[in-house]
Structure 1
Amino acid sequence: MREVTLERYAGPEASGQLDAFLPAYKEIYAEPPYCEGPHDVAEFADRYRTQTGRPGMRLVLARDAKEVVGFTFGYLLPPDTGWWKNLLEPLPAEFTRENGERTFVVIELAVRKPWRRRGIAAGLHRTLLDGLNAERVTLTMRPEPEAAPAQSAYAAWGYRKVGVSHPWEDAPYYDAMVLDL
């Protein structure tokens, strides 16, 4: 088995990497419970292009030779973020106050099925956060039982659940998680 390498990109250089990891995204998110099709993938690509312009944007790719086997990315929440407004139960204002440097949000962290259970997700996560000057990290994820492996991983990495998020009308419900740095 070859060694998987991790590559981190920031800001504008991350925008040029979409074509490198989009095949992995399509493969991973075609699986249940996501079952995404071409329209969903196109919407993801459009969102990603916008997200690469956000302050603090970072992307990490895991490669087995030249093939992308996993990826993660995120950015700093801006002061005017709506991130915390999607929670079913509001959190205290002091908790949700953002200044553009306080909270880093992990938007995606995914590994292709043949490469799962090899520590690649942990490596992606570690590399994404390495050297980050934020107070905390947040993300949302599907609840158990559909995301039991992810739930276990995030708990092992120190995340705690702070609420349930419902980001848009037809969206599923997600567990909102926070990791203090």
Structure 2
Amino acid sequence: MNTARLITLRTFTDLDVVRGDLLDVYADVRAPLLCMPNYAVTAFGERLDRHGTEEGFVATLAYADDHPVGFAYGNTIKQGDRYWQRVSPTPPNRYTERPAVALKEGGVRLPWRKTGTARRIHDTLLATRNEPHVTLMVNPAAGDGKVHALYESWGYEDIGQSLPSPASPVLVVMVRASR
């Protein structure tokens, strides 16, 4: 059995350094969904490349024996950002009036799930941030609702819905204090 204490966490601000590792873990984590246009590795790669050029990009990856086993990445979003513009209903001003960190994507390979690895990646990424709030979007059907429930257990609360692209499912937008 794998345990979270057997991993090394590394944080990066340069996408070029870790792009291959991110694509590798993503393809494994999302394998059952890769036939859907929004989840295809090419679609993820396009989003990743765009996000990697945006302000405040940061990625935290977990490695076991120098092999990537999980990741999360995000960037800074400001009031008026297209992220906030797609949220319905309009999010409360207290979340948008100052920059926030948006967790754009994350995942952990199956053998490292339920070991605390996802939480350690999440918390390590947030430890690098100064924004007062963190937000994310989650597919409410992911893991038969377990992923949404996990984020709730980490202190996130629902504030609306978003349809980031025509190929995307409707996602639940969640937010919490970053610390």
Q: TM-score, normalised by structure 2?
A: 0.86
Check 1:51–1:150 CA distance in 2 against 1; reply closer, same or farther (3 A cut).
Answer: same
Task: Give the match for residue 56 of structure 1.
Answer: 56
Check 1:107–1:51 CA distance in 2 against 1; reply closer, same or farther (3 A cut).
Answer: same
Task: Give the match for residue 29 of structure 1.
Answer: 30
SS of 1:71's partner is strand
Pairing of 1:101-140 with structure 2 (within 5 A): 102-140=99-137
Mean Cα deviation higher: 78-87 or 47-56: 78-87
Residue 20, structure 1, aligned to residue 17, structure 2: no
Structure 2 gap ranges (5+)? none
* Cα distance between partner residues in 2 of 1:135 and 1:111: 26
* Cα distance between partner residues in 2 of 1:145 and 1:5: 26
Aligned length: 175
Mean Cα deviation higher: 76-85 or 169-178: 76-85
Q: 2:177 aligns with which of 165, 176, 180?
A: 180
SS of 1:123's partner is helix
Counterpart amino acid of 2:104? I
Deviations 1:34-70 (A, max 9, x none): 6457x82112112212211211111011111111110
Task: Give the match for residue 11 of structure 2.
Answer: 8
Check 1:145–1:15 CA distance in 2 against 1; reply closer, same or farther (3 A cut).
Answer: closer
SS of 1:49's partner is helix
Counterpart amino acid of 1:52? G
Mean Cα deviation higher: 41-50 or 122-131: 41-50
Counterpart amino acid of 2:32? E
* Cα distance between partner residues in 1 of 2:106 and 2:144: 13
Pairing of 1:21-170 with structure 2 (within 5 A): 21-32=22-33, 35-36=35-36, 40-92=40-92, 94-95=93-94, 97-98=96-97, 102-144=99-141, 146-170=143-167
Q: TM-score, normalised by structure 1?
A: 0.85
Check 1:50–1:87 CA distance in 2 against 1; reply closer, same or farther (3 A cut).
Answer: closer
Query: Identity of aligned pairs, percent?
Result: 26
Structure 1 gap ranges (5+)? none
Mean Cα deviation higher: 13-22 or 131-140: 13-22
* Cα distance between partner residues in 2 of 1:50 and 1:91: 24
CA contact (8 A) 1:86 1:167 kept: yes
CA contact (8 A) 1:105 1:138 kept: yes
CA contact (8 A) 1:80 1:98 kept: no
**How far does residue 78 in structure 1 lie from its aligned partner after superposition?**
3.7
Counterpart amino acid of 1:119? G
* Cα distance between partner residues in 2 of 1:148 and 1:107: 18
